Every structure is written in C-alpha cells, then in structure tokens.
Amino acid sequence: MTNRQSATDAIREKLGSSGYVDDPSQLDAYNIEWRGLYKGTATFVAKPGSVEDVAFVVKTCADAGIGIVPLGGHTGLVGGGIATDEIIISTERLNTVHAIDTVNGTMTVGAGCILADIQQAADDADKLFPLSLAAEGSCRIGGNLSTNAGGTNVLRYGNARDLVLGLEVVLPSGDIWSGLKSLRKDNTGYELKHLFMGAEGTLGVITAAVLKLYPKPRQTETALIALKDVDAVIALFSRASNAVGDALSAFEYMNRASLAVTCTYTEGVRDPFENEHDAYVLMELTSPRNGNDLRGAVEDFLEAAFEAGEVEDAVIAESGQQNHDLWHIRETIPEAQAHEGGSIKNDVSIPVSRMPEFLEKADKIVSDIIPGIRPMTFGHIGDGNLHYNLTQPVGDDKDAYLAKWHDVTDPLNELVNEMDGSFSAEHGVGKLKREELVHYSSPVEIDLMRKIKAIIDPTGIMNPGKVL
C-alpha cells in the first residue's frame, strides 16, 4: 500500500462518509475554476468539520509527503485553488458563526462561512460587515482572507486584512495557531496574522477569524453619474472626497463598453440615460446616523459638478429597488462580458491621479497589438483598482485570441510598473501571475518571501506551485 493510499484511508476513517469526496462524478466542482481558465486533476477532497480535523488531515499529508491545496468557494480567478496531485482541503463544513459581540464590534466565524451569510448575520445583529464583492453569494471568508480580497467598499473600510482582528490557522506541521483575539490594540511582538492573509494558502490553512463589525448605515444615497471622459471622473472623485468626506463609501467606474454589454445581455438591466456617454460613475454615500441630509449633500455636490462641466447627466436612486438596480448594472459586467467571446483580464492598481494617463496609453498599446480589441474597463476608482478587461475583436476565434494573452498583458504590466502600480490589485497571484511576481518584485522582496515560506513550510506541501 502506498503512502498516499494509507493517508487517504486514514482521512476517510477520521472524517467519516460526509468528510470527503472521491467520486469522480463529484470532483469537477472542486477541480474547475470559476471562469474555466484552469482545470485541476485532484482525485481526493477532504472536508473537515473542525479545526482538529483540519490539523489531522494536514499532519497526515505532511507525514506522507502529500501536497495540500486549501479551497474555499472556488471563485478565484488566478488558479490559486487548482490541485493536480495534491489533496484538496475544502473549508465548506467550517461554516459556523461562532460568536457576535456587538459591544466589542466583533464576529468570530469559521473559514467556510459564505460572505453573504456573514453580511446577513451582521445585519441581523444591527451591524455591518463591509466586505462586499460580486462573488459574495458563493465565496467563503477563508478564501477572501487568503487572497486579501478588495471589493466595492475598500475606499472607506479597507481590504480584507483591514477587517480582521484575529486568526486561527493550521500550520503545515499540523500544529494549530490559535490567534483568535478580539483586541483592537495588542502590541506584543510580530503581527503574525498578516503572514497568512494574502498568502493564498501557501503558509497554512485559515480555519477561523475574528472580524470587525461597524455601525449599520441608517442612510444610503446612490447615484449613477454620466461623464464626458476619465479626466472628468478623476476630477469628480476629488470633488466628492472634499465635499462629503468619510460618507463616501463607493466610487465605481465603468466605461461605455462595459455599461453597454451588461445592458445588452443582463435580464432586467437597461441604460438609465437617453444618450450614450464615455464614462460612468456609481457613487454611494452612507451614514450610520439618522438626520444627516445625505440627499441634500448629493444634490449640492452634483449641482456644483454640473456647473463645472464634469457631469453630463445623473440619476439618483429614489428607492431601495432603484438602488439595487443601479448596483446590478455594475455587478453583472463580468458575466455579461462572457457573451462577447474571449476576454483577457487585467486586475491592476494605479495611483488614482494617473488613471487617465494609464487608460490613454493602455488603450493605444492593446489596439496596436490587436486591432479591433475592445477594452471593457471598470473598477474601484477610489482605491485605484481597475479591471482592465479586453474582449476579443468581433468575429475573432476565441482560442486564437486567448493564445495572445501574454502578448497583451506583458506590455500592459510594464506600463503598470512604470506608473508605480501593481499587476495584481485584489485577485492575487496564484498560478497565473507567478512569473510577474518574480519579475516585478525586488530581489530583497523575493528573498524574504522565500525565506518565510521555507521556515513555515520547509517541505513545500502547502499549495505548491502558487505565488512563489
């Protein structure tokens, strides 16, 4: 009997029939990445139901020299959750909300909790957990933390790592680090939790977290604003930041092509404006206090922007349903783009002030390489994160187009680097961007990362072939 067979037999016995998957007919759910760019070949999935179970699986795999791929909701876009010969550890059964402390403003959750369920639990407690992204109905918080997810509220609340006070992690040795503290001030040594957030499962398995909760918004005002160009978008952002301050919770940009495609292919979505415009902003203001005249603030702000020539048209949501409808336009862009064929996706961040310069240069670069290419650009403009997605020319062969991925992304990444940006703003590195990480990081940075990896995971069993 092989070491692998012995290990999987031990895991089966420990976890029971509900604790593993080895039926080939059920494995596609764990092997095929959300957008289909990668397909793994894993033949065994462990589904532990407790941190002790996770520790057992990890220790068993470590002793047998078997690689491990931690997996949450499988909504990643860079191949970070793809396994070949490794055993997958799915966190789906670690899905308990363990505690909510409304006075301390914290929630302790298992890594397998779906993000939308966490948001709802916070809402039921009259609190807000602000992490929000398109995949929130299926992504799991462990994956969100492992990739340091961003989303639509980074402008006000920060990335995923900014929303965490404590972690529980199973290390590659099978040891459990119990760091589930709910303290907002703890100045004792190295801040270990930050090693694991953003590490994409290469240093251990996140099994639970203590999350920050915030006052629940009592007022919300949402506006979809049409502008003449990206320069006007940046001017509007600067104006909004000065006019409404920390009430500004979202400032989302869409170019004309992005809005048009979701209006074309998404049921129930229509263009709110009679005329076409080059640029759009979805802006949201919130306040935890009743009595603040947010509506008046939005109207005054837009009036000044109209007079300055920055804004060409605007729609302010008049109800909760209209608010939902405006956000639906923005959130359905990625799915709508798929109807137009192959898409070369770029998740980049740029200093906000340099956004117009980047888009002008980037559009020229890609159109020179592939005439007729269609940039469908959207993103979180307030924190400098653009999803610069490039749809194939009309009539092109999809596979032939996607084969030119690096022909397009390599010069774009060079441009991003020249502009002091990042080639990966929120989706992580995974398999897709390993070469870029080495290329654009300094030798000192790569050396430090490799030393950390070697110390914590000396045998290299944790998510091999990812990040580094």
Q: What share of the chain has pLDDT > 70, as a percent?
A: 100
Beta-strand relationship, 248-255 and 279-287: antiparallel
Domain assignment of residue 468, yes or no: no
The CA distance from 367 to 180, in Å, is 50
In this structure, the answer to whether residues 161 and 205 fall within a common structural domain is yes
In this structure, the answer to whether residues 175 and 251 fall within a common structural domain is no
pLDDT of 456: 98
Mean pLDDT of 420-447: 95
In this structure, the answer to whether residues 402 and 419 fall within a common structural domain is yes
User: For the residues of 103-118, what is the DSSP string, one character each?
Assistant: TTTEEEEETT-BHHHH
pLDDT of 292: 72
In this structure, the answer to whether residues 289 and 359 fall within a common structural domain is no
**Number of structural domains, the chain?**
4
State pLDDT tens for residues 66-120: 999 999 999 998 999 999 999 999 999 999 999 999 999 999 999 999 999 999 9
In this structure, the answer to whether residues 295 and 368 fall within a common structural domain is no
The CA distance from 261 to 280, in Å, is 14
Identify any residues that bridge with 227 across adjacent strands, giving them in sequence order. 279, 311
In this structure, the answer to whether residues 50 and 65 fall within a common structural domain is yes
In this structure, the answer to whether residues 234 and 263 fall within a common structural domain is yes
In this structure, the answer to whether residues 205 and 239 fall within a common structural domain is no
Domain assignment of residue 441, yes or no: no
Domain assignment of residue 255, yes or no: yes
Domain assignment of residue 126, yes or no: yes
State pLDDT tens for residues 183-212: 999 999 999 999 999 999 999 999 999 999
Domain assignment of residue 27, yes or no: yes
Beta-strand relationship, 214-215 and 343-344: unpaired
State pLDDT tens for residues 59-76: 999 999 999 999 999 999
> Are 159 and 107 within 8 A, CB to CB?
no
State pLDDT tens for residues 238-252: 999 988 888 999 999
pLDDT of 52: 98
pLDDT tier for residue 375 given thresholds of 50, 70 and 90 = very high
In what order do the strands lie in the sheet containing 87-90? 20-21, 45-46, 87-90, 68-71
DSSP secondary structure code for residue 344 in this structure: E
State pLDDT tens for residues 414-423: 999 999 999 9
pLDDT of 246: 87
Mean pLDDT of 304-324: 94
| CATH number of 360's domain | 3.30.70.2740
Domain assignment of residue 415, yes or no: yes
3-class DSSP state of 453? helix
| CATH number of 315's domain | 3.30.70.2190
pLDDT of 468: 92
pLDDT surpasses 60 at 319: yes
> Are 180 and 192 within 8 A, CB to CB?
no
Domain that holds residue 73: 3-90
- Nearest CA among 124, 118, 162 for reference residue 141: 118
In this structure, the answer to whether residues 274 and 305 fall within a common structural domain is yes
Domain assignment of residue 145, yes or no: yes
Mean pLDDT of 391-407: 95
Write down which residue in 299, 334, 369 finishes a domain: 334
pLDDT of 245: 84
pLDDT tier for residue 1 given thresholds of 50, 70 and 90 = low
Mean pLDDT of 383-408: 95
Please give the backbone phi and psi of residue 32, each rounded to the nearest 5 degrees, phi first. Answer: -100, 120
Write down which residue in 179, 194, 215 finishes a domain: 215
Domain assignment of residue 110, yes or no: yes
Q: Poorest-confidence range of 28-42, 160-174, 184-198, 418-432?
A: 28-42
Identify any residues that bridge with 226 across adjacent strands, giving them in sequence order. 280, 313
Write down which residue in 90, 107, 141 finishes a domain: 90
Cα(first)–Cα(last) distance of the chain, in Å?
33
In this structure, the answer to whether residues 225 and 319 fall within a common structural domain is yes
**What amino acid is encoded at 399 in this protein?**
D
pLDDT surpasses 80 at 333: yes
Round the average pLDDT of the chain to a whole number and report it.
95
| CATH number of 128's domain | 3.30.465.10
Mean pLDDT of 292-319: 92
In this structure, the answer to whether residues 279 and 208 fall within a common structural domain is no
